[in-house]
Amino acid sequence: MAGAAIPAVAETIPGFSVLRISGIVVPSATPRDIVTRINAAVVKASGAKLD
């Protein structure tokens, strides 16, 4: 494999980590119950663990 000789970032920079931030945008007139349903579906699909 051609890329096998290239080390991962975490192998070259101690303590390196990545944070992913995502968002969904809906029109401001979207009913709150629809926003809540969309949020629940996104959280479930992403496997996010919210405290």
pLDDT tens track for 9-26: 888 998 888 887 888 999
Please check whether residue 12 lies inside any domain of the structure: no
Let me know how many helices (H) and strands (E) the chain has, helices first: 2, 0
Q: Is residue 44 part of a domain?
A: yes
Total of domains in the chain: 1
User: Is position 41 within any domain?
Assistant: yes
* 34 within some domain: yes
**What span, in angstroms and rounded, lies between the C-alpha atoms of 26 and 38?**
10
In angstroms, the CA 14 to CA 2 distance is 24
What was the pLDDT predicted at 11?
A: 86
In a domain, 8, yes or no: no
Q: Is residue 31 part of a domain?
A: yes
Residue 29 predicted with pLDDT over 60? yes
Q: Give the range of the structural domain holding residue 27, as residue numbers without chain letter.
A: 18-51
3-class DSSP assignment, residue 35: helix
Q: What is the pTM of this model?
A: 0.54
Q: For the chain, give the mean pLDDT.
A: 86
> Does residue 51 fall inside a structural domain?
yes
50 within domain boundaries: yes
Q: Rounding to the nearest 10 degrees, give the CA dihedral for residues 24, 41, 22, 15.
A: 170
